[in-house]
Structure 1
Amino acid sequence: MSALLQVENLASGYGRSQVLYGMRLRIDAGQCVTLLGRNGMGKTTTIRSIMGMHPVWQGQVWFNGAEIQNLPSHRVAQHGIGLVPEGRQIFPNLSVEENLIATAADRHKKRVPWTLPRIYALFPRLKERVGNFGNQLSGGEQQMLAIGRALMTNPALLILDEATEGLSPLVRQEIWAALALLRREGMAILVIDKNLAPLLQLADHHTIVEKGQVVWEGGSEALRADPETQQKYLGA
């Protein structure tokens, strides 16, 4: 099976400080993959490099068979990647509905595209807050809005950087339930998060990063059965 996203031998950094050393990553259509590791190990830099938000020094990024490294971010998004960034980054002075429609598109003519009614069915809280501005929402509602905004671009791949960071346990459950539904519907997902237990339930494959390099890869059963790896690289 050809990969939906393929990252090979990726090198990148900031100024003279190299962060990524030969990073690799693969996601097939409909697959949920995690990128795990302690803070400062290169996870967000990998995402930013994929999304054209940070220059790639070396290596290749393919999406649906097209090379996309160093394309501008809007071109990467047009290829079919939706990003839910760390910190949410919603538009604070736009209403919930305006946030959702601001970047809405269906360039690849999905059989069942994401629309406002579908987003409100996935996250009923957003429908209740439809007229509220972004800065009037709770952190959990902002994260739901960020996910909804990414889905409204009708991506083939959804990337979430720190999916549930700083959220209450109840809101986390809502986010995990929504991601599980997306996965059942065939959405490919790449997720970064520190909550390992729900990731072991959700994901097909896990990639652990240490100092900008892949140090472990495998399925949920293998990672669940390897507490030494969890402790060594995740502090679990």
Structure 2
Amino acid sequence: MSTLLEVSQLETAYGHSQVLFGMQLQIASGEVATLLGRNGMGKTTTVRSVLGLTPARSGQIRFRGERIEQLSPDRIARMGMAVVPEGRQIFPNLSVRENLQAFAAKRNQHAQPWTLERVYALFPRLQERHRHMGNQLSGGEQQMLAIGRALMTNPYLLILDEATEGLAPLIREEIWHCLAALRAQGQTILVIDKYVQRLIALADQHTLIERGQVVWQGPSEALASQPELWQRYIGV
């Protein structure tokens, strides 16, 4: 598999407060990867740097073989990167259908394109509520809409920041089932979440960070055999 995203020696700061210290991350096409760590350890900052929202102070970020650390967020998105942000951030005064249609783009030319029909097939509940406004949806439905909206851009890389945060257990299961279906279809995904056992079953490889640095990287089999790592770096 070819490398889709490669982050090397990434240093990022907010003003005088440095958050990332030599961050490293590599994701191959068709792979599901995770970024794990306690709150405040640099996971979201890593994502923001990759997306161009918080520019890197130094280091390199390559996406689809191109350096992107100096590019604008809009240019990076148009290259085929999509995020399901923490807090979902759907448009509250647009309907489900309008939220989805607003993001429609065919960026990944090699994949069967995501359409309204495909998103509705993945999330039948969104089809049932296609006329509802964003602010009329439950938290779980909003998360489904946020994922569907990101898929409508037909991304090469789908990033989920706090994929199941605040969701009821049954809805969490639905989201995990959705991500497994996307993996089976070959979608490359980066997931931030805290449910390690579910992520071990879903993902190919994992990166644990603490205080803005990588402390462990490896495949699911290795992480499953070292639960002490979960307690030490994730707190589960």
> Aligning the two structures, in what range does the TM-score lie when normalised by the shorter sequence?
over 0.9
Equivalence map 1:156-195=2 (5 Å):
156-195=156-195
Residue 21 of structure 2: aligned partner: 21
Judged with a 3 Å threshold, the aligned counterparts in structure 2 of structure 1 residues 107 and 228 are, in CA distance, closer, same or farther, namely closer
Task: Answer yes or no: is 1:232 the counterpart of 2:232.
Answer: yes
Does the 8 A contact of 1:36 with 1:209 survive in 2?
yes
Does the 8 A contact of 2:6 with 2:27 survive in 1?
yes
TM-score (norm 1): 0.98
> 4+ residue stretches of structure 1 with deviation over 6 A?
none
3-state SS in 1 of match to 2:12: strand
Tell me, which stretches of 5 or more residues in structure 1 are unaligned?
none
Task: Tell me which amino acid in the other structure corresponds to 1:192.
Answer: I
Identity %: 63
3-state SS in 2 of match to 1:46: helix
Does the 8 A contact of 1:11 with 1:23 survive in 2?
yes
Equivalence map 1:144-159=2 (5 Å):
144-159=144-159
CA distance in 1, matches of 2:74, 2:37: 28
Task: Tell me which amino acid in the other structure corresponds to 2:13.
Answer: G
Residue 127 of structure 1: aligned partner: 127
Q: CA deviation at 1:111?
A: 4.0
Does the 8 A contact of 1:49 with 1:70 survive in 2?
no
Q: CA deviation at 1:74?
A: 1.3
Deviations 1:54-94 (A, max 9, x none): 11100111011011113111111111111101100001111
Residue 68 of structure 1: aligned partner: 68
Residue 82 of structure 2: aligned partner: 82
3-state SS in 2 of match to 1:4: strand
Equivalence map 1:94-113=2 (5 Å):
94-113=94-113
3-state SS in 1 of match to 2:127: helix
3-state SS in 2 of match to 1:69: coil
Q: CA deviation at 1:101?
A: 0.8
CA distance in 1, matches of 2:205, 2:86: 21
Deviations 1:11-50 (A, max 9, x none): 0011100000000100000000000000000000000000
CA distance in 2, matches of 1:154, 1:24: 26
Does the 8 A contact of 1:43 with 1:209 survive in 2?
yes
CA distance in 2, matches of 1:55, 1:150: 22
Task: Answer yes or no: is 1:204 the counterpart of 2:207.
Answer: no
CA distance in 1, matches of 2:160, 2:108: 21
Does the 8 A contact of 1:110 with 1:154 survive in 2?
no
Deviations 1:148-176 (A, max 9, x none): 00000000110000000000000001100
CA RMSD of aligned residues (A): 0.9
Deviates more, 1:221-230 or 1:102-111: 102-111
Residue 137 of structure 1: aligned partner: 137
Task: Tell me which amino acid in the other structure corresponds to 2:163.
Answer: A
Judged with a 3 Å threshold, the aligned counterparts in structure 2 of structure 1 residues 135 and 57 are, in CA distance, closer, same or farther, namely same
Task: Tell me which amino acid in the other structure corresponds to 1:45.
Answer: T
CA distance in 1, matches of 2:101, 2:150: 10
Q: CA deviation at 1:184?
A: 0.5
Does the 8 A contact of 2:196 with 2:230 survive in 1?
no
Residue 49 of structure 1: aligned partner: 49
Does the 8 A contact of 2:34 with 2:192 survive in 1?
yes
TM-score (norm 2): 0.98
3-state SS in 2 of match to 1:194: coil
Task: Tell me which amino acid in the other structure corresponds to 2:94.
Answer: L
